[in-house]
């Protein structure tokens, strides 16, 4: 899979660029050695294997900055399962220079999306609603892949240097803290691999929700207008399911009614149910207006 990604990067139609492949913390040589052997055949590719590295993906990305050429102007983050289009870098750099942006985020697209069409629509829904809406306040947060950074901006904010498990969102906060411009472009530059099993989806959402919750605690330190803070909060909370509290209250009320039979819990029931109805109805409407709405596709996803 990684070699296929590197091959797509080698086919990019661009005058001068380099490919940095960094493998960190992989103990099994049978996994990373074939990738190293493949990279040796191309002078454009730099391969680095590091046995023990701190900082998760953020630590690896920081190391990639130091490995990059001193003449490099932009830094394009590509996940190991993505296949890029030949004109991807040319379009990305062109858009960044036209917008004078420190960071440009492009939508994530999936070549295995038809296996779970409803899930693919949900991912697409994020970029159509949340990412697109962030352009109104220049408050776009990167999403981890297909993110183009101006290298000067990365050095100005001190690189990733983060132990957050959503280092991309935290980098967006750091860039905004320095009053640098971030934008979203709807142009599709490549396709990746979408999780196709419930355990994988659960693991992904758990990481996104927890990592973004970490970033939400830093909003109060962000020096920015309220509308920008609100836009960032909306993006960070996009994957956090807000139904946990009303469900907990509803369950607690039902249990309490057996022990405190002289008390009425009707108000708690009503508020909890109203909260759930408003939340799911709102999600349903947003999905409907932002996607090629086909109820049967969502049903098949289950």
8 Å CB contact between 281 and 104: no
pLDDT score of 122: 81
Ordered strands of the 147-150 beta sheet = 74-77, 147-150, 103-105, 182-184
Instruction: Report the topology of domain 2-236.
Output: Spore Coat Polysaccharide Biosynthesis Protein SpsA; Chain A (3.90.550)
Q: So what's the pLDDT on residue 34?
A: 95
Q: What is the DSSP string of 108-175?
A: --BTTGGGSHHHHHHHHHIIIIIIHHGGGGT-PPP-SSSEEEEHHHHHHTT------S-HHHHHHHHH
pLDDT at residue 84, as a whole number: 96
Alpha carbons 238 and 171: distance in angstroms, whole number: 17
Domain with CATH 3.90.550.10 in the chain: 2-236
Q: Tell me, what's the pLDDT at 10?
A: 96
**Cβ within 8 Å of residue 50, ≥6 positions away:** 22, 23, 24, 25, 60, 63
- pLDDT tens digit at each of 302 positions of the chain: 999 999 999 999 998 999 999 999 888 999 999 999 999 999 999 999 998 888 888 899 999 999 999 999 999 999 999 999 999 999 999 999 999 999 999 999 998 877 777 788 888 888 888 898 898 877 899 998 999 999 999 999 999 877 778 899 999 999 989 999 999 999 999 999 998 888 998 898 888 888 888 888 888 888 888 888 888 888 988 887 667 677 777 777 777 877 777 777 777 778 888 878 887 787 777 767 666 655 555 555 44
pLDDT score of 302: 46
Give the model's pLDDT for residue 242: 66
pLDDT of residue 293: 55
SS3 content of the chain, % helix, strand, coil (to 5): 55, 10, 35
């Amino acid at each position: 899979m990684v070699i296929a990604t590197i091959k797509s990067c080698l086919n990019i139609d661009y005058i001068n660029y380099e490919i940095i492949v960094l493998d960190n913390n992989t103990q099994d040589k049978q996994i990373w050695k074939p990738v190293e052997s493949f990279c040796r055949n191309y002078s454009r590719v730099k391969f680095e294997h590091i046995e023990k590295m701190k900082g998760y993906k953020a630590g690896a990305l920081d190391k990639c900055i130091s490995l990059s050429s001193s003449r490099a102007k932009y830094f394009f983050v590509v996940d190991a399962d993505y296949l890029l289009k030949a004109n991807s870098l040319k379009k990305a750099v062109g858009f960044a220079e036209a917008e004078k942006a420190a960071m440009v985020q492009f939508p994530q697209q999936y070549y295995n999306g038809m296996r779970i069409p409803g899930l693919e629509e949900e991912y697409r829904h994020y970029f159509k609603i949340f990412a697109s809406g962030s352009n109104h306040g220049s408050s776009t947060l990167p999403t981890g892949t297909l993110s183009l950074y101006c290298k000067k901006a990365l050095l100005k904010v001190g690189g990733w240097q983060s132990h957050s498990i959503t280092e991309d969102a935290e980098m967006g906060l750091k860039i905004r803290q320095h009053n640098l411009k971030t934008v979203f472009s709807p142009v599709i530059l490549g396709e990746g691999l979408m999780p196709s099993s419930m355990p994988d989806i659960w693991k992904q959402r758990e990481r996104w929700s927890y990592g973004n919750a970490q970033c939400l605690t830093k909003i109060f330190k962000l020096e920015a207008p309220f509308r920008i803070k609100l836009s960032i909060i909306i993006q960070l909370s996009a994957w956090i399911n807000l139904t946990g509290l009303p469900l907990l209250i509803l369950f607690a009320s039902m249990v309490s009614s057996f022990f405190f039979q002289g008390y009425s819990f009707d108000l708690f029931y009503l508020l909890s149910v109203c909260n759930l109805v408003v939340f799911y109805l709102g999600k349903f409407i947003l999905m409907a207006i932002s996607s090629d709405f086909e109820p049967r596709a969502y049903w098949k996803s289950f």
